[in-house]
Amino acid sequence: MEGIVKRFPGVVANDGITLLVEPGEIHALLGENGAGKSTLMNILFGLYTPDEGVVAVNDQPVSFSGPRDAVLAGLGMVHQHFMLIPRFTVTENIILGNEGSGLVLDRTAAARRVREISESYGLLIDPEAKVEDLTVGLQQRVEILKALYHGSRILILDEPTALLTPQEIEDLYGILNRLKADGTTIIFITHKLKEVAAVSDKVTVIRRGKTVGERITSETTGQELADLMVGRGVSLTVARTPATPGRTILSAKNLTAQPIHGHKPLSIADLELRAGEILGVCGVEGNGQAELVEVLSGLRPITGGTLAVNEIDCGQRDPNGFREAGLSYIPEDRHHRGLVLDFPLWENVLLGNAQGEPFVRRGLVRGRKTQDVTRQLMADFDVRAPSPETPARALSGGNQQKLIIARELFRNPDVLLAIQPTRGLDVGAIEFVHKELVRVRDEGKAVMLLSYDLDEVMDLSDRIVVMSEYQITGEFVAGEVTRNHLGLLMGGRHSDEATQA
């Protein structure tokens, strides 16, 4: 791809980008949120038409009128948000649109072919399983299988690890290396430096729509790539002083809540969150963390025990009641719980804040004042969008996340529940968010950090609790526990077994 330019109203997403990918390599495309990575790949896959520039595949200039042309040319793309029909089986999703011309669909033959491809690359998935019953990691495998089934030899992966657990990420690396060994060319869109080092042969860095460097991965460092990506020196470590915990702000005792989807009921014997500390919660996804967060934010009623914020009984309160008690909440799912995507940014800033000043006066929304506040938050948190009138849907995932964080911190809460706060963020934005969480802590507020990135939990937390099987199975002072010990507890080992191991 040479000299690629793509303009949208109010923004130049790609401004003369050049990308050269060799056959049979894993090539990382690295950049900040909103740098233009996904736009560039959507051009390559025929979803967008470039305003300027040349695209060539196997040395032949191409001009795709749509994704079907790209597929016929041997390209496949796995999008960050999967394009699967939940009620269909794996095989039905894979052959959708490519069923053949006969009157009778030979599902048996199709399933056999899906199984053959699955076993060849270690994807290991049941062709007859329904997609709605699969984990996120297995759904991603379905998307990869779909591309391979259609004959793709160039595979584009857009932020492929954004929703995966650490074990699923390792499994994905193995799959990509097997594909590479078979001659498949892979373009890997990411903003995570560890992923670049773990799996790529080369890396191209883009910043604000321009190519700023290409490196052989083994001949560069994470620090060099971070500086290229952000355009300044970036700290890859979290600088903070020791915590000085104060009074208990959030307290839960003998807390229980009803199970969902056949899981065990949540059972929390004792949980305290104190002023001036960051409490990290770690565990393998699906072990009760989501239910705990729902209870602590008023989204799920408790069935037993006590729950208090600032000594206010919140056991039977709704989410507004928790906010009134002094709690703010950065949700894990920014699309379904953090934003109304079709609303402009200023109306999204109103969400949860429409009870009073400065946004509401005498029961009326102050639109101009809210837009002014939103404009200031956009500047303070580097939310890249043309104006407060921009629909939230038009922002990159990282910029959507930054808007949510800005909105929740604007309330100056006593307790901040930060659930996967850096998921989908680039290294510069992660540095900013980490500094903000430490700042909130140092101002005497209480922060609960729930992250599936164990490094993030260990780097930021003053205390760490481990969740397994819908219970807290261990509590530690940060710095006094090893990564291996936490990993064993997360995997369901008892504390004494983990200590012996």
Quick one: 239 and 349 in the same domain? no
Quick one: 131 and 49 in the same domain? yes
Give me the mean pLDDT over the 251-278 stretch. Answer: 87
Give me the mean pLDDT over the 228-249 stretch. Answer: 84
Question: What CATH number does the domain containing 254 carry?
Answer: 3.40.50.300
Q: Taking Cα atoms as reference points, which of 309, 315, 305 lies closest to residue 254?
A: 305
Distance CA 486, CA 474 (A): 9
Q: Which of 389, 411, 433 is a domain's end point? A: 411
Q: Taking Cα atoms as reference points, which of 344, 434, 37 lies closest to residue 207?
A: 37
pLDDT at 287 over 50: yes
Distance CA 178, CA 172 (A): 10
Quick one: 405 and 266 in the same domain? no
Quick one: 103 and 224 in the same domain? yes
Distance CA 25, CA 93 (A): 28
Quick one: 80 and 183 in the same domain? yes
Q: State the residue range of the domain holding 277.
A: 235-326+413-501
Query: Phi and psi of 275, rounded to 5°?
Result: -60, 140
Quick one: 57 and 190 in the same domain? yes
Distance CA 354, CA 340 (A): 15
Q: Give me the half-sphere count of Cα atoms (radius 13 Å) on the Cβ side of residue 341.
A: 10
Quick one: 432 and 399 in the same domain? no
The count of structural domains within the chain is: 3
Quick one: 405 and 423 in the same domain? no
Q: Which of 367, 396, 411 is a domain's end point? A: 411
Rg, Å, the chain Cα set: 24
Query: What pLDDT score does 170 carry?
Result: 83
Q: Which of 411, 429, 452 is a domain's end point? A: 411
Quick one: 449 and 383 in the same domain? no
Q: Of 205-209, 233-237, 263-267, which gets the smallest average pLDDT? A: 233-237
Quick one: 419 and 432 in the same domain? yes
Name the CA dihedral angle for 334, 335, 339, 345, rounded to a multiple of 10 degrees: 100
Split at pLDDT 50, 70, 90, the class of 110 is confident
Quick one: 144 and 215 in the same domain? yes
* pLDDT (tens digit per residue) in 121-165: 888 888 899 988 887 778 888 888 888 888 899 999 988 876 676
Q: Where are the beta strands (DSSP E) in 245-315?
A: 248-257, 266-274, 277-282, 304-309, 312-313
Quick one: 86 and 226 in the same domain? yes
Q: Taking Cα atoms as reference points, which of 171, 163, 224, 226 lies closest to residue 198?
A: 171
